[in-house]
Chains A and B, each alone.
Chain A
């Protein structure tokens, strides 16, 4: 009975979504106040019924209701209870329900925090979100119903895919989906503005914090996913250019471009139609990601079970949403005047435009590399992968100029910058970056690799240039006590420091890491980068639903004990799948990584040992970027209360005209 209630809840949610969409868009178009007043309750109801369905599916998992096909296929009485909850989104149907649930959460948030928006605009935004809900609810009810019964019920469930039986599963997909789906809010704002025929600083100002929150979640999701694949998949890398990773990376790149271009639109009123296009593109790429994962169109380590009907449905949905938005764009966008006026070549606008160009070109390159196999496939040339050689060749040359510009941009004035002014601010920063970079290169013995040296220098440049402004303001404040630093500038500085640390981690780990493969017999040992690894043999251990072989390695450095680590090879009882649980000794400046290979008889094992310098900086950098975004979100202007849209509009216009020359450098 309970699962049928879940199904019913989804149907009711669908009806409410139709109401939300219709009253939202048509009501605003006709200026019908009673209709517009109905939008918010419909949206809230829709979100609540979706949440109810989600709770019911979770309940079915917790109570081992194997009469529900989806539960029987993805759970088991032996599965520990936290994994029963994460199993809800362990396969296609449930992860789709999670998608819709997250969309419901965003809808609730928009309904709650949009009261101060002009009513027409708010109802259009909610109407567009309602349209997206309709699409996904229909998709779920027609092709992927998680509540389908299994007759007769199974006595025992199969089990959750072993790779997904990990605490990371509780964090990674929800965060990623919060980011993906959050881009739909930026999309809804852009489409609402296009529908209303008004694209102005108010639109940019309202849309900015939402975009930033979505970007934050996406950053957390990707950073976490990278760390997770590092320690769970046992491949020893942090990024594989796998199609599904790319699917989350593309919206991130475009979302990052969007966050920057929204700044220009808000501050200067320029780049309006470009910003709108980026907002549409970011969400399209999120949908594309969903399509690539769900349709099984690409070969991937993340492959979900596939069904061609599903692929066609998502493709149709992608075509409909994005197609409608782009038609609207082609019709409305040429009418917007770019009130920002002209800007000189050396100006903040130019640097942000370059930022956008680099990020969008990078996203296009990733798209091309991801789709190349598919395009070949469509031309009947089969399914293949181009892999990291392609991406490395494309990415390194794009990122070098990008990171040089990242340091300069914030110190160039809006509209017409001055080279001597920027030079004065950055001259000593460049010198310091060179000096510190050189010291780090010597410490790491990085002089052997050109790319590693370039990476270290770029990272130092990025970090120090980002710190210049906050440090200067702090210094001024210590002396005269009236220099202030806006949260959004501070947030930007912190985020750029994070980007610099990430580049440092990526280049140093990639270029200077050491990997050794050896056959170990019990008692044998090996020295890697000064650490002595002694193998003491393996023993059998047993987990709740798997058997494992566990090796013991004692690591010493010059006779001093460093650590004892236990890599495992697990075999799951359900289907005999084996997973490699690498043992990692994590340190701030290096990781030691040991993975068991294959048994070679007589107690001998092939073993892989890796020394990974600064690998933690990759994820640390990601977290610091998140922190930066969070600080920017705390900016005063997002907490201002009870300012009507009109005053906001006037303030924005005045702000653009006058105050910006003084409040340098705002971002």
Chain B
């Protein structure tokens, strides 16, 4: 019987995989909940990417509505996102802060020179420890932070123009109205 089981195992693996693929086909990446939503940004202190002497911490994220974008040079989807973010940053609607995740400083700097820098400031999280506290699963992810430094929304996956129009801008406007 035990021997029999070994031969049935492959088909069970297949069924599980197919189940995941099936769900995957219908998934909607915008429907994301995070336990951190509605909570203040976790305390952290990281070196800045461009100037390791300077620190970047949670107090920077208070006083205004802002976006925190988790990215890395090894992340293929971030390449797609880069252009959209660059365009969005030129409109000067909100500051976009970068959290460079499990990356190499040299390649990150190179990436920014080559492709342009959409970020107001970038925190450099080489080990990914801060990202863990933020509940980051991978790159890219984007957090919307309100005036009081509270995480209000999280988007997983690359930001597109559509995401900005449909998900981010209405929320940013609502937060601004709330704040005034």
Contacts and interface: CB of A to CB of B under 8 A. Distances in A.
Interface of A: 240-242, 273, 277, 280-281, 284, 291, 295, 297, 299-301, 308, 311-312, 315, 318-319, 322-323, 326-327, 329-330, 333-334, 371-389, 515, 517, 597-598, 606, 608
Given A299-B80, A515-B106, A381 B25 contact: no
B21 interface: yes
B20 to A, nearest CB: 5
A301 B79 contact: yes
A330 B25 contact: no
Nearest to A392: B74
B23 interface: yes
Contacts of B74: 241, 387-389
Nearest to B3: A334
Contacts of B179: none
B138 A378 contact: no
Contact of A517 (B7, B26, B114, B158): B114
Among A299, A311, A389, chain B packs the most CB atoms within 10 A around the CB of A299
B18 A597 contact: no
Nearest to B74: A387
Contacts of A326: 10-11, 14
B141 interface: yes
Contacts of A334: 3-4, 7
Contacts of A384: 77, 137-141, 156-157
13 contacts: A295-B21, A299-B157, A311-B25, A318-B18, A326-B11, A330-B10, A333-B7, A377-B24, A378-B27, A380-B31, A383-B77, A384-B138, A385-B138
Contacts of A284: 14
B157 A382 contact: yes
Ordered nearest first, which 5 A-B pairs have the shortest CB separation? A382-B156, A384-B138, A378-B23, A387-B74, A326-B11
A384 B75 CA distance: 9
B132 interface: no
B55 interface: no
Interface of B: 3-4, 7-8, 10-11, 14-15, 17-27, 29, 31-33, 72, 74-77, 79-80, 102, 106-107, 109-110, 113-116, 137-141, 155-158
Contacts of A376: 137-138
A277 B102 contact: no
A647 to B, nearest CB: 32
Main secondary structure of the interface of B (DSSP, over half): helix
Among A277, A308, A377, A598, chain B packs the most CB atoms within 10 A around the CB of A377
A600 to B, nearest CB: 9
A375 to B, nearest CB: 5
Nearest to A333: B7
Contacts of A308: 25-26
B114 A377 contact: no
B143 to A, nearest CB: 13
Contacts of A281: 10
A327 B8 CA distance: 8
Contact of A374 (B15, B20, B115): B20
A405 B87 CA distance: 52
Contact of B75 (A291, A375, A385): A385
Contacts of B107: 515
B97 to A, nearest CB: 19
A572 to B, nearest CB: 16
Contact of B23 (A240, A377, A598): A377
B15 to A, nearest CB: 8
Contacts of B138: 372-373, 376, 384-387
Nearest to B19: A378
B72 A387 contact: yes
B31 A598 contact: no
Given A382-B137, A388-B74, A597 B156 contact: no
B104 to A, nearest CB: 10
A380 B27 contact: yes
Nearest to A580: B114
A598 B11 CA distance: 52
Contacts of A297: 21, 24-25
A373 B76 CA distance: 13
A291 B21 CA distance: 10
A533 to B, nearest CB: 16
A299 to B, nearest CB: 4
Nearest to B4: A334
Contacts of A381: 32, 137, 156
A198 B21 CA distance: 34
Contact of B11 (A323, A373, A385): A323
Contact of B25 (A315, A597, A606): A315
Contacts of B4: 330, 334
Among B11, B18, B79, chain A packs the most CB atoms within 10 A around the CB of B11
Nearest to A606: B113
A323 B106 CA distance: 47
A379 to B, nearest CB: 8
Contacts of B141: 382, 384
Nearest to B31: A380
A36 to B, nearest CB: 29
Contact of B32 (A300, A315, A382, A597): A382
A598 B110 CA distance: 12
A8 to B, nearest CB: 32
Nearest to A277: B10
A330 B110 contact: no
A606 B115 CA distance: 10
Contacts of B33: 380
Nearest to A280: B10
Contacts of A375: 20
Contacts of B75: 385, 387
A282 B157 CA distance: 30
Nearest to A516: B110
Contacts of A295: 21, 25
A265 B114 CA distance: 53
Nearest to A316: B18
A382 B29 contact: yes
B38 to A, nearest CB: 18
B86 to A, nearest CB: 11
A329 B77 contact: no
Nearest to A308: B25
Given A376-B137, A380-B31, A273 B7 contact: yes
A329 B10 contact: yes
A312 B25 contact: yes
Contact of A299 (B3, B19, B109, B158): B158
Given A385-B139, A387-B139, A315 B7 contact: no
Contacts of A311: 25
Given A326-B10, A385-B77, A606 B114 contact: yes
Contacts of A371: 17, 20
